[in-house]
Structure 1
């Protein structure tokens, strides 16, 4: 007879030395690793607009999109700390669309496959489906960040309303507070494109 195995509690205490990790242990470690990627925030002193930890150099196209658009979104109050993961999703799907589209351009939208009978037929490449899926996700997420002219205008109108409520630091001074000097109209328009867009609204025409 062979050596009697140690009790489960003893095996766990030994840490499975010299052997491969169990499936449950591998799953636990992988879950902890992924949770760490989601929870990781920019380090102290780092750029607050740095991408989440899971959006690293493995996602080259997505990372390039983040670096191009993140400063512009932050400048118009459309990207804050709570929005980083949602915008990262947009970048990943946009990167997938670029990769799938490039495959279609270089290899074609269809490919030949062999039937059971030995004949051949043309079918869509998997990249066609991947591109369509990425397109749908990109368009849905674009709405939340104002990436189409219609959505951008609607989002900016909402921001104008929130700015009037003081949610962007533009609250009206309290009663009795010292009046603040007014900014010249030209400077206001140059520094506040959202307000300029809000001023484009006009009253609806009166019925005759």
Structure 2
């Protein structure tokens, strides 16, 4: 006895597949479409520097948004966060929140756990959450450098901004200073011989010739 005649190509997909799970490929396509929608979604409230939708969902959402709302205004005021920087700063907030969550877990449950060995004994092993915390820390520190979020990185970034502003007065959408104001800015940006930076620059000079 012959079976049911198969549907024409594309017809089964149009009819749907009731009672069955989606294929793995379809699930990936649906998830990719969902993520694309989050990335394309405009900031809430019309603020170009509002937290992006991508960090407002998930288990770490509240912590990530808290980091954003705490640091974004300060970075914005010092020209370190512009609308085009939102995706990168969102990554910083997510990794920072992951570190906080992992650290809280370690505080509550410890660094190690007892596991059974193949021989039937018991041994202490580092819990997987420790590696998650350490990885998040590394990523946070790398992105902190980009935004000048450590004292040394902040100093370096501000010094670079001062040099750039002296050479390009309109770079940060500020009014062009008068010549009398621009000259001190340029002089301050370049390390003079009497400053700490000047001393460090002199340490980079070529060694004296050996006789």
| Alignment match, 1:121 | 123
* Structure 2 unaligned regions, length at least 5: 203-211
Paired residues, number: 186
Secondary structure of 2:10's partner?
helix
Deviation at 1:144, TM superposition (A): 0.4
- 2:172 corresponds to which residue? 168
Q: TM (normalized to structure 1)?
A: 0.79
Q: Measure how far apart 1:200 and its partner are.
A: 8.3
- How many Å apart are 1:107 and its aligned residue? 1.0
Query: In 1, Cα distance between the equivalents of 2:110 and 2:21?
Result: 44
- Alpha carbons 2:163, 2:189 under 8 Å: kept: no
Instruction: Provide the residue aligned with 1:147 in structure 2.
Output: 149
What is the CA distance between 1:25 and its match in structure 2? Answer: 2.4
Give the distance between the partners of 2:171 and 2:4, measured in 1 at CA: 71
1:200 to 1:12, Cα distance in 2 relative to 1, 3 A = closer
- Residue aligning to 1:47: 47
Q: Distance in 1 between matches of 2:21 and 2:95?
A: 36
TM normalised by structure 2 equals 0.78
Task: Report how far residue 47 of structure 1 moved.
Answer: 1.8
Distance 2:107 2:51 in 1: 29
1:104–1:127: 8 Å Cα contact kept in structure 2? Answer: yes
The reply on whether 1:203 has 2:205 as its aligned counterpart is no
